[in-house]
Structure 1
Amino acid sequence: MRNNTAAYDEIRHLLLGMFISRSLTAVAELNIAELLHNGPQSVDMLAKETDSDPDALYRVLRTLAAVNVFEELKDRTFKNNALSDTLRIDAEHSAHAIVRWINDPGCWASWGRLDYSIKTGRPATEAVLGSDLFTWLQEHPSSLKRFQEAMTGFCNIAAHGVVETFDFSAINKIVDIGGGHGLLLGKILTRYHTTTGVLFDRPEVIDQALPLLTKLGVADRVETVAGDFFEHIPSGADAYIMKHVLHDWDDKHCMMILNNCHNAMKPNSRLLVVEAVMDDGPNSLFAKQADLETLVITTGGRERTQQEFADLFSRCGLKLQRLIKTDYPAVILEAVAH
């Protein structure tokens, strides 16, 4: 049996993680990591540049430095390190957007009612926001912007894993279903210069996609199509890809999406589903954490096992052909029509 004091200390460390989470958001919104990008600065200078109270800012930064986010030097001076550098907006693997979304009222307040989800099996957003998350986001543009930016930022690492793992060279046309602002599709087209794509998402999302596609230099090879994947999906492509879409929905809604995929696919088309896959191993912590997120903010969403995905595919006329691991905590499930 573990020493009781050590066990208590570990539980306390886990419990107080909320303080770190909120502190990360605070410094991200103040762009502290950006200000330190060119070298160390004193707290007084940082406070002046961010219109903050020097003592309060120091107390936050020294706490983050204690968990290796930022490095505290003498004379109340701080510098960036590997962890804090990810809080920069333009870092290669930036966590800036996802940090801000996790603490957005739409997400943070909902986690405060996890008890509601445990008791009812329903999303806590119902109790806190009065509706499901996606309906609420349509009525709160600033939170919707944060959510989309977070999904784009989160997608950056996933896109790298997908592009480095899967060979798209034989695919002439690919449809990104629920593709947000187009980062995943853009990364694929950046690597494969003869491939064209269709970015398919809700109208209010598609309207914001052009700047990113232009920045990636692929706008001329992307057709943006607004629509609802519960109603239809653009047809005739060689491949269809969707990343972290199915985990937002219960089996009934997943089957609606997958049936529409099947109807849109040509006989030799393939479907690529990028999702975390649940198993009993220690490496599935990310999937288990993501599963709680879907419990709290989605209506019936969940992370699934490989067999559960295979069963869903089969019920929609699709066959799971192979599972491809990536260096990102998710896999590519490749399915074809029966």
Structure 2
Amino acid sequence: MTRPKGDQLRRKSPPTYSRETAVATAETAPRGIQDTMFNVFMARALYVVTSLGIPDLLSDGARSCRTLADKTGVRADSLHQVLRAVASTGVLCTVPVRGAGTGDGNKDKDGEGDKDGRAYALTPIGETLCTGHPSGTRDMVLTLQGPIWDALTVLPQRLTTERTGTEIALGLPWFDYLRQRPDRGAAFDRMMIAVHGDEPEAVARAYDFSWAEHVTDVGGGVGTLLLAVLQEHPHLSGVLFDLPEGAEHAREYIEASGMADRCVTDSGSFFDAVPPGSDAYLLSHILHNCDEDSCLRILRSCAAAMSPRSRLLVVEMVLPSGDEPHPGKMLDLAMVTLTTGRERTAQEYEVLLARAGLRLREVVPTESAVSVLEAVLETA
């Protein structure tokens, strides 16, 4: 597959979008569509480099493509094409090595570089792809371009059936698949912490918790959001509520955070009931995973636990009602691929909450991509 030739390769940057400039001519497709289609090649190349463990091999110094190919069991000429492309993203860079007449002190760990006297090295960005890096970037690449990619390839079939992409491609619903593959489940959890890294603090800063004394995080995972809220608001105490195995895992994080005196765990299914007696109930990135009937079961469980004073705080990406870009629209593609859930507009959340006996009072934006939808009992 090749890009357009001739004058098309020498064209200037595309003009500002308008309906006129976006229409394809007889000679070329719209640039935005080209970029979208070709970006998948680079994403796949980055996945190959990461899955082969090349960042780890480069973590202690530059190596030639020839050496990397030998250590990973692939063809050097083909690997060179992949590495050359990935280097253009700033993940890798080529460096001259000793023996090529440079005298700059660089040295390939296992040789004298490739035929051109150069070798590949990690950049600071590339270091995030090493095993164990706290950013979770490696887990993001391996998950998005691994099982999620497998599910995405069957999106056309997904649209014709009630089965999700993971059921079609992997034989199981997404979260069942993660439970049966603990390695993939752990990688997904680390990816989620990385992708949503700035959200907990943004939520804790944006929403005014001064009125509350006690918070319950429903389906709170390892407690990232709840701990951020408690850290930002020292007057609060909290409960993390999740399935038994999740609550047990969260207890380790809570103890490590030094918050064990202000935060405890409780276990159960939010489809059945949630602990009563809290002022605020957090429901973060839960509803978008679920179909409407499941959402209503969760919301009604929360409503049954709430008092007239209580407020339900739904933390989700709230879609704009128009056609403008929004990260939630990309996430919505993941939802339709992996689950029976969806992202929603504020109006759609308002209707959903009303069906569960709750009234949407306010949508509080944050400095991150999520907002906080504050709801109270309809009778409050």
TM-score range, shorter chain: 0.7 to 0.9
Aligned-residue offset at 1:53: 5.5
Q: 1:60 aligns with which of 77, 82, 98?
A: 82
- Provide, for residues 179-237 of structure 1, a one-character-per-residue CA deviation record: whole Å limited to 9, x for no partner: 11111112222222332221122223223223433343323432122221111111111
Q: Which runs of 5+ in 2 are unaligned?
A: 1-22, 97-117
1:76 paired to 2:119: yes
| Secondary structure class of the residue paired with 2:198 | helix
1:104 paired to 2:146: yes
| Structure 1 residues 222 and 6: CA distance shift in structure 2, 3 A | farther
| Secondary structure class of the residue paired with 1:210 | helix
State, as a whole percentage, how many aligned pairs show the same letter. Answer: 32
Q: Which runs of 5+ in 1 are unaligned?
A: none
Tell me what 1:190 maps to: 231
- Provide, for residues 238-290 of structure 1, a one-character-per-residue CA deviation record: whole Å limited to 9, x for no partner: 11112211011111111111111111112211111111122244554322221
Structure 2 CA distance for aligned equivalents of residues 148 and 92 of structure 1 = 12
Tell me what 1:307 maps to: 347
- Structure showing greater relative contact order (alpha-carbon pairs closer than 8 Å, 6 or more residues apart): 1
Structure of greater Rg: 2
Is contact 2:92-2:120 (8 Å) kept? no
Structure 1 CA distance for aligned equivalents of residues 40 and 156 of structure 2 = 17
| Secondary structure class of the residue paired with 1:219 | coil
Aligned-residue offset at 1:36: 6.6
Q: CA RMSD in A?
A: 3.0
Aligned-residue offset at 1:43: 4.1
Greater share of residues in helix? 1
Q: 1:41 aligns with which of 51, 54, 62?
A: 62
| Secondary structure class of the residue paired with 2:373 | strand
Q: 1:322 aligns with which of 345, 358, 362?
A: 362
One-letter amino acid matched to 1:298: T
| Structure 1 residues 110 and 88: CA distance shift in structure 2, 3 A | same
| Secondary structure class of the residue paired with 1:98 | helix
- Provide, for residues 306-336 of structure 1, a one-character-per-residue CA deviation record: whole Å limited to 9, x for no partner: 1110011112121111111122222111111
- Provide, for residues 97-122 of structure 1, a one-character-per-residue CA deviation record: whole Å limited to 9, x for no partner: 322321333x2221111011122254
Tell me what 2:29 maps to: 7
Alignment of 1:98-177 (within 5 A): 98-105=140-147, 107-177=148-218
Provide TM-score, normalisation by structure 1.
0.85
Structure 2 CA distance for aligned equivalents of residues 325 and 296 of structure 1 = 27
Structure 1 CA distance for aligned equivalents of residues 288 and 68 of structure 2 = 41
One-letter amino acid matched to 1:317: G
Q: 1:332 aligns with which of 369, 372, 378?
A: 372
Provide TM-score, normalisation by structure 2.
0.77
| Structure 1 residues 336 and 136: CA distance shift in structure 2, 3 A | same
Of residues 256-265 and 186-195 in structure 1, the stretch that sits farther from structure 2 once superposed is: 186-195
Aligned length: 334
One-letter amino acid matched to 1:162: V
One-letter amino acid matched to 1:76: A
One-letter amino acid matched to 1:148: D
One-letter amino acid matched to 2:121: F
Aligned-residue offset at 1:130: 2.7
